[in-house]
Every structure is written in C-alpha cells, then in structure tokens.
Chains A and B, each alone.
Chain A
Amino acid sequence: MKKYQLGEFEEIVMLTIAILYKEAYGLAIKNEIESRLKRNVSMGAMHTALVRLEDKGYIRSHDGEPTEERMGRPKKYFQITALGKKAMEYSRETRNALWGAIPDVSLNVKFS
C-alpha cells in the first residue's frame, strides 16, 4: 500500500507552491508552471488538483485581501502543510532510491 498518494501533476503543483512560498495563489501557480515547464495548464485541471490536495491535507489555504483587478474577489493563498512536506519528501526519496538502483549500464545501452 502506498503511504502517500501523490500524482505527478499534484506533485508539480505542490513543488510550485513551495517555490512561490508566500505568493502561491491560483493564477500565480498556473503561470509559474506554464513558464517553468513550458506546458499548458487549464484552470480546471489546476483547481481540481488544488481541491484534491487540500482534501488530502497536503496543503492549506487562506484568503487574502480582495483586489481591484480581481473584481473584488479575494486571492486564495496556498501553503504546504507538514503532512504535505512529508509526502513530497517521500515521493522524492522513492525516486532517488529508484534512480540509485538503476545499474549504470542500463541507460547507456544504445539501440541503433
């Protein structure tokens, strides 16, 4: 059984939240992912991921002040929780472990 459930896209979102630190709100996260990873992120996909992560308890949110460019809607800022941090570390460790277990020759084989 998996200890922590974390999907690939979810992991990316969490990492981005960590990068943005105090400035992690919906649109910022989307823009950050798009600029760093050069991939398109739809609002729907991202918000669903955020909802799911919050449900799992990996991130928590608080409302910021409403601003004018958002038509008076508050920004919702996200923050990694301790559990979220553990999940990220777990994910990283398992990958490192897997990387470490790859015999050198494996990836050097050339198929020509």
Chain B
Amino acid sequence: MKSNPPKLSLRFFRWFCHPKLRDSIEGDLMELYEERKLKSGKLKADAHFIKDVLFLFRPGIIKPTEGYQNLNTYAMYKNYFVTAWRNITSKRAYAAINVFGLALGIACALLIFSLVRHHLDFDKFHAQADRIYRFVTEEHHGEVEYSPNVPPAFGKAFRDDYAFGEKVTRLCTLNDKLITLDENGEKRKFQEQVAFADPEFFEIFNFPLVAGKADGLLREPNTAVITGQIAKKYFGDQLALGKIIRLGSDIDFTVVGVLKDIPAATDLNTEIYFSYSTMKQYNDWYAADDAWGGITSEIQVFTRLQPGVNPTEVEAVLPTYVQKYRPKSKNVHHYKMQALSDMHFNAQYGGKMSINTIWILSTIGFLLVFTACLNFINLATAQAVTRAKEVGVRKVMGGLRAQLFWQFTTEAGVIVVLATLLAFAASYTVLPFMNEFFNVTLSLNVFSDVRLLLFLIIVIAAVTLLSGAYPGIVLSRFKPVLALKGNLKGGPGSFNIRRGLIIAQFTISQVLLIGLIVMFYQMRYVNKMDMGFDRDAVVMVPVGSRDQKLNTLKTQFEAIPHVEKVSACFGSPASENMWGTSFRFDTRTEAEEFPIYFKGGDEDYLALFGLELVAGRNVTASDTVREFLVNEKAVLKLGLASPEDILGKFMYANGGSIKGPIVGVVKDFHDQSLHAEIEPIFITTPRNFYNSYAIKINMAEAATTLPAIEKAWSAMYPEPIYHYDFLDDQIASFYKAEQTMLTVVQVFSAIALLIGCLGLYGLVSFMALQKTKEIGIRKVLGGSVPQILWIFGKEFSRLVVIAFFIAAPLGWLLMSQWLTSYVYKTEIGVGVFVLELLIILAIIMLTAGFRSLKAAVANPVNSLRSE
C-alpha cells in the first residue's frame, strides 16, 4: 500500500536535512507513518508526521550552510594560477600584447578618471554646497545673452528685501590690479587678482583662516584678508596681520586675516580679499545703492538659501526688481539663480569646463579600455584551439563547465592585474606632465583615496569579466572527445563572433580617426582664417593714464625706429573684452532691439589693423567722441539697404551720452573668437575709454624695438608695472582652453588606435602561425607572394570596409554635433572620409603587412618538412 504523508512537510524535511542523514531518517519517518496510519488512521498519522518533522528541525540534523563536502580546493585554485602563469610565460608575445594593450587602456582610464574627478569635485567642499547659488542675468534682446553677473546694487537690495537668503555676499573680482607694499620707504609692486567681498563671503564659502579672528572678518572698512601663500610672498616669515597693503595708488588696507591656501578645485581662486565697505573709495558706481543701470563682469552675487527654500520661489520675486529699478529698460534683464554645482560646467555663464568635454573624455576612456578588452577576447578565442587538449583532459577528469569557465576567467584576471600594476606605474610617471599641461594638481594615491581604490577594483573586475567571460564560454564549451581527438576547428559560430569583434574594433578606431581629422581641420581653419584684420607683428601695451600723457607717449612711440604705426584704443578688433550698449539711431524714437558693441580707437586704428572702409571716410583725430564708424553688420541690422545710406546719420549710445554722426562704414571683421557671430559694432574716439596702445613693429628688429618701447613707457609712468602681449598670442589664447582639450582628446584617440593596432598585430601573427602549412602548400603548388599576401589582406580589408560603413555616418553625426559650437566652421566633406579610409588602410598595412609578408616569403621547405 502506498503511503503519502503531507507533501509540504516532506519537502521541507528534504530541504533542510543533512544529505548524509536524509535517506535513513526519511525511511524511519515513512515506516513510522505507515504504522501509525494502520493503527490510528491517516489524519493522526499526518499530524504526527508533521510534528516529527518539526522536531527534526534542529542543529544536528539541519545541513550546514557552508557545504558539507569538505574538499580541499586549495590545490585546484593554486593550479589555476600555475596554469595561468605557464600560459603567460610560454606565449610571451601574446601575453605582452595583451598586458601592454590593457595597461595602456587602463593607464589612460586612470588619468582620465583623476582629471574628470578633479573637475566634478569643483566647489564641493563648502558646507551646504547644495544651497549655495549665484545670481545670474539673462539679457533678452533679440537673442538671449547670458552673464554670470547682476547689477551692482542687486546684492544689497536682495539681502535687505527678502529673507530667502541665509547669507548673501557680493563679490567684485578685479584682474591685474596693482598692489603696492611700502616697507620703510622701499616700494614693492605686484600685479594680482583681487576681490572686494562682504563678510558673509567667508561664512558661505569654506575658506578657513589660519590667522586672525573669524568673527566680523572684513566688516571693518579698509581691511584685507590674504592667503598664506600671498603672505609668504609679501612678508616672508614676518607676521602678516596688521601689515598694510595698497590697492592702486591710494587705497590702503590692513591685513586682518590669513587664509589657508585656496584648494585647487575651486573657481573662486582669488587670493586677496578687501572689505566691500571700502568699495566706495574704489568705484562709486559699484557701491551705489541705485546702480541698476547695467551689469559688469566684475560683480557677482552669491547666496546660501535658507533650508527648504526652492530657488524657483526666489526667481519668481526677482522680476519686481526689474519693474522697480529699470522701468524704462523694456524688460531686458531676467535674473535667475545658478546652482554652485553648475558654475564650473555651464559655458553660458563662463564655466571653465563644459560638461560635454567631461562626457567626451569619459567616453574615450571607456573606449580605450573597451578596445583593449576586444583585443584580449580576439586573441584568446583565436588561440582557443591550442587549449583544446587541456580542456579535454580537465573535462575527462571531472572538471565541470562552470569550473573551466572560472579557470579561464581567473587567467584573464591574472593578466588584468598585471596590466593594472603596469598601468598604475605608467600613469604615476605621466601624471606630473599632465598636471603641468592642465595646470592642475592631480594625485594618484590608492592608499589614501577610497574612490580611486574603488575605481581600480571596479576596473579590474569589469575588465576581467568583459575580457575573460567570452573566451571562458568558448573554451569550456569544447566536447572532450572531439577536443582530445584534436580535430577541433573553432566552430563557425565563434569565428563569426570574432569577425564581429574585429569590426567593432575597427569601427571604434575609425570613428576616433574621423574625429581626429575633423578636429585637426577645424583648428587649422580657425588658425588660418582671415579675421578681417591684420594681427601680425602687433604689440599690445596698456595705457598708463587717460590724459594728455597718453597722446605724448603715443608720439614718443612713433619716434622709435622700426615702429611702423601706433594707435591708442579700447582693445584689439577681436577681443574678449566686450562692451555692449543699447542705442538709438537717427530720428527713430525707440532704442534699437539689439545692442551695439563698442570698439574705441583713434584715427590710426583702421590703418594699423588694416580694416577696410566700404563707404565714407575715417574718423578725424580727436580726444573725445565726435564721429562714428560702424560695421556692415550694423548697417544690415538697422535695415538699411546700402552702407551709403547710413553716412551722416546720428547715433546716440550709452543712454545718449555718446553721440555723433556716422562718417564711415568698415568691412565686417571678426570681433570675437570664431565661436561667436560677428556683432554690430561702432568705432569712435573717446580717450577716456582707451585701455591699450596697439603698436605695429618690424618683427626683424623686435629685439631692439621692444626694450625701447618699455623704456619710453616706464619713463612716462614710473609707478605701474609695464607688460606687453603680442596680438596673435592674445587671439590664440581665445582657443587655449579648447586647444588643450583637443590635444588631450587627440592623444587619447591616438592611443586607442595604437591599442587597436596591437590587437591586429597579434591576430595576424596568430593567423600566420595557423596558416604556415597552408602557405607552404600554396607556395609549392605555385602560389606567388602577392597571392598569399592577399589571403591576409582580403579578410582584413573586407572587415575594414564593413566597419567603415558603420563608422562614417556615426563619425559624421558626432562631429557635426561638435562643430555646432563654432559659428564659423569647416565642412565635413568627402575628403575627410577618403583620407580617413586611406589612413586606416595604411595603418593596417603597416601593422599586418610586415607579419604577413614574413609568412609569405618563408621557405615552404621549412614549414612542410615536419608533420
């Protein structure tokens, strides 16, 4: 008679019971159950059964969690490592390619990681950084302009009117200011970036003091806070507190605090702070409570909001300021709030690092590691056949598929760890150069840096799995009988996957190559592009004053031999220093919708920079605003049909304070970097706006001319510091940041290509080895060297072409996207792709050609002699 005790209970018992006891106890349970069923019926027997099972659920009977077969697996794991090591040492060339490729990839990934992290860490060290915001302005006139500034009166008004901000601070950052130290009658001069700040500045931002009282810092007028570095530079080992430093020629400040040196990861890197309450002495308008007329790039306002205050709430009240203080401005200003975390990345508001670049770099870093992994997979699967016997023997001895899989993954792990060690050493060596190149201070220290350690562990784990898993699957799949017989041919399936991998690798290489070529073209285009004015051999020298001395010095400059021309001006035709103003034209009653940009320059300006007049005449010599020149763009924007129509008409700029007749129209020239479109501009002659002399010299005689200029300048102005720039350097500096970034992208792309080549070389070597006999037979039967080369060539060229058709559209899409940040840009023509294809084919021929040639010219006797 069949007995059936409660199933669930029985299953529970079987689950928990120690396997060694399971059968005998279950037998007992069954026997007892039968007995009871006969004696007292099924129901009682069931109940007893359940009770018995429950009583069996106790420590001696439950199976232990850590496994009950105490095998000693130490030897097996040791064997994995021994086998791995033997494989590395017996196939040195492949191991070297793998280790070197992976090391290159990982080293770059490490460097990119530290760079990206450095930028992501910017201004993260302030307390409650998530509540810190900067007020910014959107100016809506036609198009929208963004600036990280607000009117000078904004900060105080916001602090007084609203309770949203826990702390509010104004910050007025001034570049290249003269600082004078007067030590016992001996004057020392420095040029520094300085800032006026409210006391709240040091409460919002985490810049700790090393000396001085934190309480009420900068509250007193004429007080200053400097960093330890500046203190050392100025006062050496003397106590800095109580010392006097002078801004410009007349404002004295007493040092009341010394800050710890400013960390590298911040955009607020001014090292000298003055009390904002002294602002009135420096600039009346900046300190005025009604200074709502405009914004200046020198003044910023920061706030730390009260906990729980949403920035959109704050933004909602800000328009009232525009209504109240700028009633006639046609609602041009829109004040917004920018989170501190956005500050470093938002290029619109002057962020130094675009988040796009971060993404591009990260992607390249990933691709670098990825191509190295593809190499590994390709080589490992290609060589799978040579491991077939081993797999066969292991399987016959009872090795499970999973065990084999983990064995091969361990092997990959050993190589990855080796590569990582090498990569670490390499990146450590390269780091100082990179620091210098980017002007940053990155460090790689695994022992003190948890995130770096974590990153390394993740990289090792991910790369091991990525590169070890697929070969592991392929190898562990071998059927032992076939493997031991030795007629294993890799199987068609794996070969196609391998082709797929090669195509993937070629695709990555080609996309990067297309990117490289387009970037190179664009940079060449930018450098070669006619800016519309002469920029060669022009030296820019600052003005020392804006009075009659300015004119005198100009005459003195002109008298220096080999000085061809001199012009006193606001700035060079193309300059980042832009001053836009709204204006009224002719008899029109309304101000124009768009701003017009000011370029001041005297009567020699046009001739010096080679600007062409298309209509009218040049301005006549003057020290004040008398006549105007405008560019063609202004004519166009004003809606006039021809440049002649504008001549003789009046324009009123800067609220009517700058007015006069337009006497000439100049041909358009690039007034900013090529990222920006040409703006409407006007040129006029107000001496009190001039910043620089532009001096055209004969470059051949620069060695004597430059000192002569300096001498004349210093004789006229003994107090301030003299310095000069060449105009083309100034213009090149527009693109400095992106040049740097491009160089990096280019270097890393080139490394990715190199890694790809390495893998290709390894693959070809292996193919050549495999085909030794085939080549021998072909040669014996009359095959020529080119025919044999073509065996290798056709395979790779086919794969390259397939990859090309994937890479070309992808590269085109990505690079068109990249080019959109330039207003004036090169075309991505067919030429780019033809060039790219030629380069990649050349690279492949170079890497694969030598090895295959060696195989093709080998004497068939040698390859066929022994079987």
Among candidates B24, B27, B58, residue contacting A44 with C-beta atoms closer than 8 Å: B58
Of A42, A45, A71, chain B has the most CB atoms within 10 Å of the CB of A71
Q: Kindly state the separation between the CA atoms of A27 and B61 in the bound complex, as whole angstroms.
A: 16
- A residues 35-52 near B (Cβ < 8 Å) are 42-45, 47-48, 51-52
- Given known pairs A27-B31, A69-B31, A69-B34, the reply for A74 and B56 (CB within 8 Å) is no
- Given known pairs A27-B32, A69-B34, the reply for A43 and B55 (CB within 8 Å) is yes
Q: What are the interface flags for B7-30 relative to A under an 8 Å C-beta threshold, 1 for contact and 0 otherwise?
A: 000000000000001011111111
Q: Indicate if the CB atoms of A44 and B31 lie closer than 8 Å.
A: no
Note all chain A residues with C-beta closer than 8 A to B65. Answer: none
Note all chain A residues with C-beta closer than 8 A to B58. Answer: 44, 48
Q: Indicate if the CB atoms of A70 and B55 lie closer than 8 Å.
A: no
B60 within 8 A of A: yes
- Given known pairs A74-B23, A75-B24, the reply for A47 and B3 (CB within 8 Å) is no
B267 within 8 A of A: no
Note all chain A residues with C-beta closer than 8 A to B23. Answer: 63, 73-74, 76
Q: Indicate if the CB atoms of B55 and A71 lie closer than 8 Å.
A: no
Q: Kindly state the separation between the CA atoms of A42 and B30 in the bound complex, as whole angstroms.
A: 14
Q: Indicate if the CB atoms of A70 and B25 lie closer than 8 Å.
A: no
Q: Kindly state the separation between the CA atoms of A75 and B21 in the bound complex, as whole angstroms.
A: 11
Note all chain A residues with C-beta closer than 8 A to B28. Answer: 25-27, 30, 43, 47, 70
Q: Indicate if the CB atoms of B27 and A51 lie closer than 8 Å.
A: no
- A residues 58-74 near B (Cβ < 8 Å) are 61, 63, 66, 69-71, 73-74
Q: What are the interface flags for B50-80 relative to A under an 8 Å C-beta threshold, 1 for contact and 0 otherwise?
A: 0110111111110000000000000000000
Q: Indicate if the CB atoms of A43 and B27 lie closer than 8 Å.
A: no
Note all chain B residues with C-beta closer than 8 A to A74. Answer: 23-24, 27
Note all chain A residues with C-beta closer than 8 A to B24. Answer: 25-26, 61, 63, 73-76
- Given known pairs A51-B21, A76-B24, the reply for A44 and B30 (CB within 8 Å) is no
Q: Indicate if the CB atoms of A71 and B27 lie closer than 8 Å.
A: yes
Among candidates B26, B56, B59, B61, residue contacting A73 with C-beta atoms closer than 8 Å: B26
Q: Indicate if the CB atoms of B3 and A42 lie closer than 8 Å.
A: no
* Chain B residue nearest to A48 in the complex (CB): B60
Note all chain A residues with C-beta closer than 8 A to B61. Answer: 44, 47-48, 51
Q: Kindly state the separation between the CA atoms of A2 and B52 in the bound complex, as whole angstroms.
A: 33
Note all chain A residues with C-beta closer than 8 A to B60. Answer: 47-48, 51-52
* Chain A residue nearest to B49 in the complex (CB): A43
Note all chain A residues with C-beta closer than 8 A to B30. Answer: 69-71, 73
Q: Kindly state the separation between the CA atoms of A60 and B61 in the bound complex, as whole angstroms.
A: 17
A71 to chain B, nearest CB (A): 5
Q: Kindly state the separation between the CA atoms of A32 and B3 in the bound complex, as whole angstroms.
A: 24
| 20 pairs of residues in contact across A and B, judged by CB atoms under 8 Å | A26-B24, A26-B25, A27-B31, A42-B52, A43-B52, A43-B55, A44-B55, A44-B57, A44-B61, A47-B21, A48-B61, A52-B60, A61-B24, A69-B30, A70-B31, A71-B26, A73-B23, A73-B26, A76-B24, A76-B27
Q: Closest 5 CB pairs between A and B? A: A73-B27, A44-B55, A76-B24, A70-B27, A48-B60
